[in-house]
Structure 1
Amino acid sequence: MQTGENEQALRKIIDFTRFLSIAILLIHFYLSCYNTFQQMHLTHPIIDHILWPLSKMPVFKTALMAKLNALGLLIVSLIGSKGKRDENIRAKTIVTYCLSGLLIYFFSSYLSGWLYIWATAIGYLLFMTGGGLLFRMLKLKLGGDIFNKENETFPQEERLLENEYSVNLPAKYQLKGKERNSWVNIINPFRGTLVGGSPGAGKSYFVIRHIITQHIAKGFAMLLYDFKYDDLSRIAYNALRQHGGRSFYVINFENIMHRSNPLEPETMLDITDAIESARTIMLGLNREWIKKQGDFFVESPINFVTALIWFLKKYEGGKYCTLPHVIELSLVDYQDLFAVLTSEPEIEVLINPFISAWKNEAYEQLEGQIASAKISLARLSSPQLYYVLSGNDFSLDINNPDDPKVVCLANNPQKSQVYGAVLSLYVNRINKLVNRKNQQKCSLIFDEFPTIYFNGIDNLIATARSNKVAVTLAVQDYSQLKKDYGREQAEVIMNIVGNVICGQVTGDTAKQLSERFGKINQLKESVSINAMDTSVSKSTQLDYAIPASRIATLSSGEFVGLVADDPTNKIDLKIFHNEIQNDHTAIAREEARYQEIPAVRKISTAAINGNYQRLKADISQLVETFTKTTTP
């Protein structure tokens, strides 16, 4: 700690050094311009007697030597000086003073007499002024990084960590103003991956496409929900053409390709499967019911549809157990319908409230219980839907080691509510079948995940890791998820995933992510300027590594996030903020070679309508069979 005495002694030393510099220069003037001083009668014998011996010293041996020594002592005195720091001093001003001073100071040697003295003195003063400004200049970066970007940089994983399940994305990041190469290593995709970002952030182009291609290359079976068919399905199909080993299927309700029955009776082992299927289809058709689960007028339609499904599963070995048959059966008159349903003892507890309301002539209550189910299911009464849902081109156990599959579920943004409900049923049934032991590794990828209802997604992520099921969810932000799934379910989904890759998002999503990424030590500078002195202080403090405002201003292709590791492959630097690198030219060349997904079948409108009428006839025949047996 400095004391007042030390500062005073330092000032005296500095003043004495500068005095020596000036003294050497004055003596040099007297000795080198003696004739000029003599003509002006400015000499004196006593001064001559004192200074002539000094002229023999090495300092005054030559004019250049004297000037250099004077200049050196001046620089020493300037280094030790303490003046008031001033942030308004500019480097350009300092350079101008110093350079002009040095030029005049040294080139004055070509002059003589008083011109030499004055030129040298002016050069000396100019250099002294510039040097004084140099050591008073306030060097601050307070205005150089107005968005604090450099302070918010941190080391990131630069190693390529690859295994038989990993997804590896090359990237670049900034560290203290320097660009460095890095990798986003999703080495454990079975802990769940959430890909977020507003429209245009680059979710599909920079992340999802690589998850698809790398997982197919590594032998994964796959379920791909393609919201804007066939953007992702084309990628999957052409990747599978290169690597093979799996069958490729597409469920498309507009351009019919493959057919599959999501209510396969062989895969429905007990009535809980029927309950989950009914809940999925009803909540998928009525998304606002998700937030009202448990209400009487929500659970009643679900129980009604459950009874229909389970009855058809049990009737004659399930030969009519399809969703179109369920829809047609729901439209039967109550008297005939209840006569049919009461024949199955296992659903008695489910249909008893409806039969009681009917017998007691509580028709308004009965309509309230059943009409919402009938109205919702009626939206699915389409020949195209019936045709796809009543076929059996492939089974839904997509990760069966004996017959692994890549299945694409095609949606259309213009009809997403109706198609999304049916596709949700496929997802629900596939979820039940893939989450089993001793199956092939499997990847479930959902683009625009909130557009379907996946009942039990949190349970799948939590339990499927040991069964080698990797789940990837693409969402726009937390508010979208909350709107479609409810706050509680949305929070569970956001918090249960182990890998997060997020582009530009705002609001609550950005705040949640910023808190999740945590804080880092950041260097802070502050300056205090007053009439007497200027002081600069530096300190470190913990602040958010990636603030919410930074996440809200990410560019397309720029992502933040964190990755999960596993016991055999530890990652210390899990958090990242980088720009994922795509080889745009290579991708363009690859897409130019893509082949279109081939048509599977040519089906006529007459055949589709014939199937539609046949399904209706099946239910009419079924009901007629029961009404005949009950008619006296």
Structure 2
Amino acid sequence: MQTGENEQALRRIIDFTRFISLAILFLHFYLTCYSAFQQWGLTQSIVDSILLPVSKMAIFKSTMLAKLAALITLMISLLGTKGKKDEKIKARSALAFAVIGLLLYFLSAVFLKAHYSFAVRALLYISITSFGYLFMLSGISALFRILKLKLANDIFNKANESFPQEERYLDHEYSINLPAVYHYKGKVRNSWINIINPFRGTLIGGSPGSGKSYFVIRHIITQHISKGFSMLIYDFKYDDLTKIAYNALLKYGHLYKVRPTFYVINLEQIMHRANPLEPETMLDITDAIDASRTIMLGLNREWIKKQGDFFVESPINFITAIMWFLRKYQDGRFCTLPHVIELAQVDYKDLFEVLLQEPEIEVLINPFISAWQNEAFEQLEGQVASAKISLARLSSPQLYYVLSGDDFSFDINNPDEPKIVCLANNPQKSQVNGAVLSLYINRINKLVNQKNRQKCSMIFDEFPTIYFNGIDHLIATARSNKVAVTLAVQDYSQLKKDYGRDQAEVIMNIVGNIVCGQVTGDTAKQLSERFGKINQQKESVSINSQDTSISRSTQLDFAIPASKIAGLSSGEFVGMVSDDPTNKIELKVFHNEIQNDHLALNKEELAYKTIPSVRNIDQATILQNYQQIKDDIKVIVQSVIVNS
């Protein structure tokens, strides 16, 4: 018990033991150097009569035994000391003091045989032995205090913030399995990141260079292709992911029941052509509204935060009316985005006369016609000009050529005709290209999220560079239709900037699987709170003038603090996975380093086959198609006006 009485009693015992040590040493000096003491006049007959029986004790029969007895009692007295901790004490210097003292203490016996007078020999022996004793007392007491007060040397609290992680390899027909290592209780252990339910959505985060593509996305592509998934890949930096997907298909294509066809939509280096407004997929006017919203918000990202405003909704309604007119005219023969762009540039007088021929869009264009008839031209320009200006950025012969073809349909997870479609972007032209690719994604989404289809994986690298209207709805409902959605972002702030705070929060909170590399700020804080807390041991030191005490306690603290997430190395990831009723995972949170076989991957990449060219197209054909679309619009306007 740490009571005052017990501590006082202990202190008395320590003092008494040390007194015994000094008494033994003094008696040894007196008995060994008795002649010298006589010369110095320090002997008394009464003292001698008392010490004579003591001298017959076994410990005083030899110099070594007496010194050992004094040393042992000294060590016993030091065991119970609690001296104040001095931060300046160095273990090396304390040990040096103890060793020097020990040598002086035992080697001083040499001076008893020196060629000096006995008094000089006795003085040297007593002095050197005493110095050795004091050196040992100083050094050993310092050593005892250092050992007693030594705290954990885990400066960055790594041991406390480690926790058990999933070490089982849980593989099945849908899973993504990433090998990793982690630290726990001072040991490096093997583990697995088992994304056993990718249909609940996967968010991959990390700043540039954190290893999102190299350590995670490439394995999602190869593993899903090896397991028979159809696939849509948004390749922001073409052809990084496209090349991986193409070569994975060459390697695992034979495992499919029906081998998928590989398609690439590239708006700069023309590969395949496809019409995102193909009339067969636009079943009613709501499809046209959705497509119009996607392309307009994709071209004007700042409008995303202003949805519902008059001058945002008006251009969307205007383009919707044009799209639906072309869908209904001659059964959609001219229903392509290039035709929409060209028809939007027609003069108001002719354009409104043409659009009025379609009853279903009369409600949409009525505000524009009213403004035109009432000569409110400034209002009309505000409503329409923003749409014209935005679409004018897409007026390119190459774009027109790609967007007006029909090499394939968008039902990529059709069991009878599965497809792997890669949408290629260029970081230098991401705004314009991203808007068009967003329209492709929107149309594919409409057909993919249906029942009785083949399992499908949709992977979006640098997701904020496109506008995906309804991504939250896709993640929420696609699970039952076997559609796995993977979103790669650099930071939550980037998502918030491009999609608005509300939509960004929904995306962050709705995904079931998170794999995140180095991020900072609000993103790191949100993730740290999401991963929860664990019991951690805390130590505290109390230093006063007499004593030093250490207290240890346990308390709940963040398993992965925000500062730790902000300092992750490349290839090091934190996250949480979700499970399902048939595959339970108790240890869902992880903080580990994904293991890539760099030599094998490098060898594999060197053996990659290049993506073959699909068509050799000359500039004349592209320009001819461009002009044909313009001529089509002229013919449509003239024929409608004449027949009206």
TM over 0.5: yes
Q: Which amino acid aligns with 2:188?
A: E
Q: Does 1:107 align with 2:107?
A: yes
Please state how far the C-alpha of 1:91 moved relative to its aligned partner: 0.9
Q: Which residue is equivalent to 2:10? A: 10
Q: Does 1:391 align with 2:391?
A: no
C-alpha distance 189-582 of structure 1, shift in aligned 2 (>3 A)? same
Query: Matches of 2:374 and 2:86 in 1, distance apart?
Result: 93
CA contact (8 A) 1:87 1:139 kept: no
Query: Matches of 2:251 and 2:148 in 1, distance apart?
Result: 59
Q: Which amino acid aligns with 1:506?
A: T
Query: Matches of 2:110 and 2:305 in 1, distance apart?
Result: 94
Q: Which runs of 5+ in 1 are unaligned?
A: none
Note the 1:98-137 alignment, pairs <5 A.
Answer: 98-112=98-112, 114=122, 115-137=124-146
Q: Which residue is equivalent to 1:194? A: 203
Note the 1:80-479 alignment, pairs <5 A.
Answer: 80-112=80-112, 114=122, 115-137=124-146, 144-244=153-253, 245-479=259-493
Q: Which amino acid aligns with 1:551?
A: I
Query: Matches of 1:33 and 1:348 in 2, distance apart?
Result: 126
Bigger drift between 517-526 and 498-507 goes to 517-526
CA contact (8 A) 1:85 1:138 kept: no
**Offset from partner CA, 1:140-199 (integer Å, 9 cap, x none):** 677955544443333333333322222222223333554333322222211111111222
Secondary structure (helix, strand or coil) at the match of 2:335 reads coil
Please state how far the C-alpha of 1:259 moved relative to its aligned partner: 0.8
CA contact (8 A) 1:506 1:548 kept: yes
Query: Matches of 1:418 and 1:228 in 2, distance apart?
Result: 15
Query: What percentage of residue pairs aligned between the two structures are identical?
Result: 74
**Offset from partner CA, 1:504-560 (integer Å, 9 cap, x none):** 222222222222222333333333334344343333333333232332232322222
Q: Which amino acid aligns with 2:161?
A: E
Q: Does 1:575 align with 2:589?
A: yes
Q: Which amino acid aligns with 1:159?
A: R
Q: Which amino acid aligns with 1:466?
A: S
Query: Matches of 1:315 and 1:45 in 2, distance apart?
Result: 137
CA contact (8 A) 2:415 2:453 kept: yes
Q: Which amino acid aligns with 1:87?
A: E
Please state how far the C-alpha of 1:340 moved relative to its aligned partner: 2.8
Match of 2:619 among 598, 605, 610: 605
**Offset from partner CA, 1:99-142 (integer Å, 9 cap, x none):** 11222223334442524444333322221221222233386677
CA contact (8 A) 1:89 1:138 kept: no
Please state how far the C-alpha of 1:50 moved relative to its aligned partner: 5.2
**Offset from partner CA, 1:256-288 (integer Å, 9 cap, x none):** 001111112112222211111111011111111
Secondary structure (helix, strand or coil) at the match of 2:146 reads coil
Query: Matches of 1:59 and 1:569 in 2, distance apart?
Result: 75
Secondary structure (helix, strand or coil) at the match of 1:136 reads helix
CA RMSD of aligned residues (A): 2.4
Query: Matches of 2:128 and 2:168 in 1, distance apart?
Result: 63
**Offset from partner CA, 1:81-104 (integer Å, 9 cap, x none):** 232232222211210111112222
Bigger drift between 421-430 and 96-105 goes to 96-105
Query: Matches of 1:102 and 1:464 in 2, distance apart?
Result: 79
Bigger drift between 164-173 and 389-398 goes to 164-173
Please state how far the C-alpha of 1:8 moved relative to its aligned partner: 2.1
Q: Which amino acid aligns with 2:190?
A: N
Query: Matches of 1:141 and 1:100 in 2, distance apart?
Result: 24
Secondary structure (helix, strand or coil) at the match of 2:609 reads coil
Please state how far the C-alpha of 1:459 moved relative to its aligned partner: 0.7
Bigger drift between 345-354 and 491-500 goes to 345-354
Q: Which amino acid aligns with 2:223?
A: Q
Q: Does 1:70 align with 2:77?
A: no
Query: Matches of 2:322 and 2:198 in 1, distance apart?
Result: 38
CA contact (8 A) 1:206 1:580 kept: yes
**Offset from partner CA, 1:297-320 (integer Å, 9 cap, x none):** 211211121122222222222221
Note the 1:604-623 alignment, pairs <5 A.
Answer: 604-623=618-637
Q: Which runs of 5+ in 2 are unaligned?
A: 113-120, 254-258
C-alpha distance 51-164 of structure 1, shift in aligned 2 (>3 A)? farther
Note the 1:533-612 alignment, pairs <5 A.
Answer: 533-612=547-626
Q: Which residue is equivalent to 2:20? A: 20
C-alpha distance 559-335 of structure 1, shift in aligned 2 (>3 A)? same
CA contact (8 A) 2:83 2:546 kept: no
Bigger drift between 93-102 and 516-525 goes to 516-525
Please state how far the C-alpha of 1:33 moved relative to its aligned partner: 5.0
CA contact (8 A) 2:311 2:382 kept: yes
Q: Which residue is equivalent to 2:256? A: none
Please state how far the C-alpha of 1:31 moved relative to its aligned partner: 4.7
Q: Which amino acid aligns with 1:241?
A: L
Secondary structure (helix, strand or coil) at the match of 1:135 reads helix
TM-score by length of 2: 0.92
Please state how far the C-alpha of 1:60 moved relative to its aligned partner: 4.3
Query: Matches of 1:314 and 1:370 in 2, distance apart?
Result: 22
Q: Which amino acid aligns with 2:193?
A: V
Please state how far the C-alpha of 1:583 moved relative to its aligned partner: 2.3
CA contact (8 A) 1:213 1:239 kept: yes
Q: Which amino acid aligns with 2:344?
A: S
Please state how far the C-alpha of 1:30 moved relative to its aligned partner: 4.5
Note the 1:479-558 alignment, pairs <5 A.
Answer: 479-558=493-572
Secondary structure (helix, strand or coil) at the match of 2:407 reads coil
Bigger drift between 107-116 and 64-73 goes to 107-116
Please state how far the C-alpha of 1:62 moved relative to its aligned partner: 4.5
Query: Matches of 1:285 and 1:3 in 2, distance apart?
Result: 77
Bigger drift between 250-259 and 434-443 goes to 434-443
TM-score by length of 1: 0.93
Q: Which amino acid aligns with 1:354?
A: F
Q: Which amino acid aligns with 1:74?
A: L
CA contact (8 A) 1:86 1:138 kept: no
Q: Which amino acid aligns with 2:460?
A: F
Secondary structure (helix, strand or coil) at the match of 1:403 reads coil
Please state how far the C-alpha of 1:567 moved relative to its aligned partner: 2.2
**Offset from partner CA, 1:593-617 (integer Å, 9 cap, x none):** 1121111110111111111122222
Query: Matches of 2:127 and 2:581 in 1, distance apart?
Result: 80
C-alpha distance 572-110 of structure 1, shift in aligned 2 (>3 A)? farther
Q: Which amino acid aligns with 2:617?
A: I
Bigger drift between 29-38 and 218-227 goes to 29-38
Instruction: Count how many residue pairs are aligned between Structure 1 and Structure 2.
Output: 630
Query: Matches of 1:108 and 1:236 in 2, distance apart?
Result: 83
Bigger drift between 442-451 and 198-207 goes to 198-207
